[in-house]
Structure 1
Amino acid sequence: MNVQRYDMLDGLRGVAALLVVGFHLSQFGMIPAIVPRGYLAVDFFFVLSGFVVAHAYERDLRTHLSLGSFIIKRMIRLYPLALLGAGMGLVVLLLKWLFFPGKVESLEVLLASGMLNLAMVPSFLSATATSHDLFPGNGPLWSLFFELLINLLWAVCGIWLRTSTLILIIVVSLVFLAVFVNRYHTLNIGYDTATFWGGLARVCFGFPLGVVIYREQHRLSANARHWSMFTLSAALVFVLAIPVAVSERNFPWLDLVFISLCLPAIVIGGTGQTNTMRFGSLLGSLSYPIYVLHFPIVLMMSGLSQSLLSGWNTHIIASMSFVMILAFSWMALRLYDEPMRRMLTSLTRKGDGKFYKPFPTPEPVSGATQPDGGQIDVRL
């Protein structure tokens, strides 16, 4: 596996994670709606994930890497922090039930949903009090569920599909997304029981699109793949900051334009730079813990702003929340996630060597594109 890193994409992933934090802070009324389309960062993650996972694993899965090995690698990468995030969400909901029992579901429903979420399984038990969320204590984990699902489907059959077949899947998914946009007037779907299938359509559009970009990047001109970090970050912020339509007369179809043209273009623009940006690497490392851990902190601080901190300025509470999210994410990464992944990797190597048996470098697969490039941290 190539040891270079796509530092530009790492940095962009970190920028997107911070924009998601801003989106949720505004949803809880702590700051103005500065990135009202922050939910589209999930679609950016899906496209980026398809590119990264295909780069890291497609050749190996076609030659020597077993399905079991791939699943273990992905679970070691994703599950420790996801487990921590789901646990934090459950604790926050239990505290809310203890102090504000009328604002959450019954204890039995909370515990049942919490146990399912700890296993990365969406819950269809929540009701109005928790907005029918699939992951009521940590909403963003809905996208991680679909990420794990698409990873499995891709490893089982997707790696053998021709690029033309992937494009057909992308087009069909886009048609379904158009149906959902026509119904809900937004692509902010997939996180609750009513729009579950919309989440599936989003990942079935974004992930294969990322795989196609990986396979076909050699066809792109150098100019399309070399943009500055500032330019691409500004483009990402601009897309997510465009005000959301308040009626169907205000172009609700913009979301479809953004996910099919703008966000893939930003990913393409970030594929040309490797091993040059330490700051980008740091942002990339923090992006995943920020994404899976920030929501319980925002939920807790929102509760405090309505009770113990009711007299405080909401902007101060938002600033405190942001600092807490960054600090806790960094500590979780260094003190929990990285040691846990090292330990799990060591245990799996000792427990079953066949999953990690070294192989000689295989010959390129006939018809497979092996473009030059780097390796980035293969996480959402």
Structure 2
Amino acid sequence: MNSMGAPVRHVVGHGAVVPVLSDEEAPRLRLEFLDGLRGLAALYVVEYHISQFAPSPHASPWRHAQQLYWHFFCYGHQAVVVFIVLSGYVLMLPVARTQDGHMPKGVWDYFKRRARRILPPYYAALSFSILLLALYPSLQHPALVSPWGVALPPFVPLGTLTHILLIHNLTPHGYKIDPPMWSVALEWQIYFLFPFLFLPLWRRFGLLGPVVGASVLSLGILHQGLFPVYAWTAPWMLVAFTLGMAGAAVNFWEADPFCRSLRDKLPWYRLGFISLLLVPIAHFLTDHRFFRSARDGDWLTNILMALAAMCFIVGSTRFLQKEHRLNRLFRWLDAPPTVKLGTFSYSLYLVHYPILGALFWGYFGLSHSQRAAWIVVFCSVPVIVGVAYLFHLVFERPFMPTHLRKGQARSLEKMATSTDAATPAPHEPALHVPPKQES
């Protein structure tokens, strides 16, 4: 590659193109911490939405604890950023480990696998939400003003059609029916930009090409430029995705001395920690009207969070590449319950909001107490996780790659032959990185 990270082919023998290989990284890497990170991000989103249903803490005897809870879980949008960064990272992994920087099995195979992995659970969750709204009329006519109101009215023909087409985030119906689904539509649209825009930019201009291109497209053209979109579309998430791509290239693209230099010389954990500290500062500036509205400042906090997530992932992967002993944080992220949560985080993300609404308004109809209804919802996290897991078994697991359905016990030799092992969905485990190809 050139100094900016553009791919450079190394020709050996009879025209065979091979990347520069490192003996240090020849052993197989296990990246279970990505599953743990994904699972915790999904659980954080659940807690964030629970906090939105909480009554005013001013008259509550537990107001200080409630305020602390709300302040800790008020960054739900940042957890979505982590999902997007993980999406860019895991989809870039197989590309970064090829000889020529192209998709191992081609674009058509890539789209088939993405559709099989993402669409069946999505349409099942959409049907589940519509059925729940139809069976519980109180969900359509809530007695209190609450965050649930953004999902209403649910049965608008155009809104349902845009959800079916996965373009609802580009319309006024972005939060209808099941509000968290806006980000699924965004990820689906990113899937088309990845092979046709971001990868060509990376091959032509190097490591920063996709990041700059995504910044111009999302912040310059879509957010404030020629074709402004609705605020909830969050077009700057394209930048978060390309930062994830850059992270995978830094970790695994061996043909580029620029990537190897960044990988070995930058203090990734320190950079990630600084970026993370800047998130609440930017949030403070947003709240105090340094921007025209809070939504206008979201791009800054989200990109800072994306930088923090990317730096953490790169630093952690490098930590494993150097075969260091697992520290306490890794043991926590690698813990079987945390990894297991990551395996069905997509289902948890899809179905938790309608379940929250049904529990809250169902109990409110019995008690007529917002506080009592919120306490029920607050204590119902195990129920929500359990229902999401059952949903995963029925509607998600059958469509996962075989090695993920069979669990981690599959042999390394069989795993090494599967391209899918390194190309999971954004909410899908990325447990193993295939060994490098030898020339």
- The TM-score with structure 1 as length reference comes to 0.70
- Which residue, out of 327, 333, 338, partners 2:386? 327
Amino acid at match of 1:270: S
Aligned to 1:378: 425
- Which residue, out of 161, 165, 169, partners 2:201? 161
Does 1:38 find its partner at 2:84?
Answer: no
Residues 279-325 of structure 1 show CA distances to partners (whole Å, capped at 9, x for unaligned) of: 24213213221111211111222322431243462453123431222
Aligned equivalents of 1:49 and 1:93: distance in 2? 31
- Which residue, out of 231, 246, 249, partners 1:212? 246
Specify the SS of the correspondent of 2:340.
helix
Does 1:195 find its partner at 2:239?
Answer: no
Aligned residues of 2:50 and 2:377 also touching (Cα < 8 A): yes
Amino acid at match of 1:44: V
Aligned residue pairs total 330
Counterparts in 2 of 1:99 and 1:272: CA distance versus 1, 3 Å: closer
Aligned residues of 1:36 and 1:242 also touching (Cα < 8 A): no
Aligned equivalents of 1:378 and 1:44: distance in 2? 13
Aligned residues of 2:236 and 2:303 also touching (Cα < 8 A): no
Aligned equivalents of 1:205 and 1:99: distance in 2? 36
Q: Summarize the alignment of residues 1-380 of structure 1 with structure 2, pairs less than 5 Å apart.
A: 4-29=29-54, 32-33=69-70, 34-57=72-95, 62=102, 64-97=104-137, 100-101=140-141, 109=156, 111-122=157-168, 132-162=172-202, 163=206, 164-172=208-216, 175-176=219-220, 194-196=230-232, 198-199=233-234, 201-217=235-251, 218=260, 219-221=262-264, 224=267, 245-248=286-289, 255=301, 258-259=304-305, 261-272=307-318, 277-279=334-336, 280-311=338-369, 313-341=372-400, 375=422, 377-380=424-427
Aligned equivalents of 1:291 and 1:317: distance in 2? 20
Aligned equivalents of 2:355 and 2:312: distance in 1? 30
Counterparts in 2 of 1:249 and 1:155: CA distance versus 1, 3 Å: closer
Aligned residues of 1:92 and 1:296 also touching (Cα < 8 A): yes
Aligned equivalents of 1:255 and 1:166: distance in 2? 20
Specify the SS of the correspondent of 1:29.
coil
Amino acid at match of 2:92: A
Offset of residue 13 of structure 1? 1.2
Aligned equivalents of 2:397 and 2:186: distance in 1? 23
Aligned residues of 2:347 and 2:391 also touching (Cα < 8 A): yes
Specify the SS of the correspondent of 1:221.
helix
Amino acid at match of 2:287: V
Offset of residue 222 of structure 1? 8.0
Specify the SS of the correspondent of 2:179.
coil
- The TM-score with structure 2 as length reference comes to 0.62
Aligned residues of 1:52 and 1:375 also touching (Cα < 8 A): yes
Amino acid at match of 2:210: L
Aligned residues of 1:40 and 1:240 also touching (Cα < 8 A): no
Offset of residue 215 of structure 1? 1.1
Counterparts in 2 of 1:3 and 1:146: CA distance versus 1, 3 Å: farther
Aligned equivalents of 1:116 and 1:211: distance in 2? 29
Amino acid at match of 2:167: V
Counterparts in 2 of 1:56 and 1:361: CA distance versus 1, 3 Å: closer
Counterparts in 2 of 1:293 and 1:248: CA distance versus 1, 3 Å: same
- Supply the RMSD in Å over aligned alpha carbons: 4.2
Offset of residue 68 of structure 1? 1.8
Paired-residue identity, %? 19
Aligned equivalents of 1:106 and 1:248: distance in 2? 31
Specify the SS of the correspondent of 1:248.
coil
Aligned equivalents of 1:3 and 1:329: distance in 2? 32
Amino acid at match of 1:143: S
Aligned to 1:371: none
Counterparts in 2 of 1:108 and 1:133: CA distance versus 1, 3 Å: closer
Counterparts in 2 of 1:260 and 1:334: CA distance versus 1, 3 Å: closer
Between structure 1 and structure 2, the one with the greater Rg is 2
Aligned equivalents of 1:291 and 1:259: distance in 2? 19
Residues 9-68 of structure 1 show CA distances to partners (whole Å, capped at 9, x for unaligned) of: 211111111111111111122665231121111112111111110003566682652322
Offset of residue 144 of structure 1? 1.1
Offset of residue 75 of structure 1? 1.4
Aligned residues of 1:36 and 1:241 also touching (Cα < 8 A): no
Aligned equivalents of 1:76 and 1:5: distance in 2? 25
Specify the SS of the correspondent of 1:137.
coil
Aligned equivalents of 1:105 and 1:361: distance in 2? 43
Amino acid at match of 2:211: I
Gaps of 5+ in 2: 1-26, 56-65, 143-148, 252-259, 321-329, 405-416, 428-439
Residues 127-150 of structure 1 show CA distances to partners (whole Å, capped at 9, x for unaligned) of: xxxxx5414121111111111111
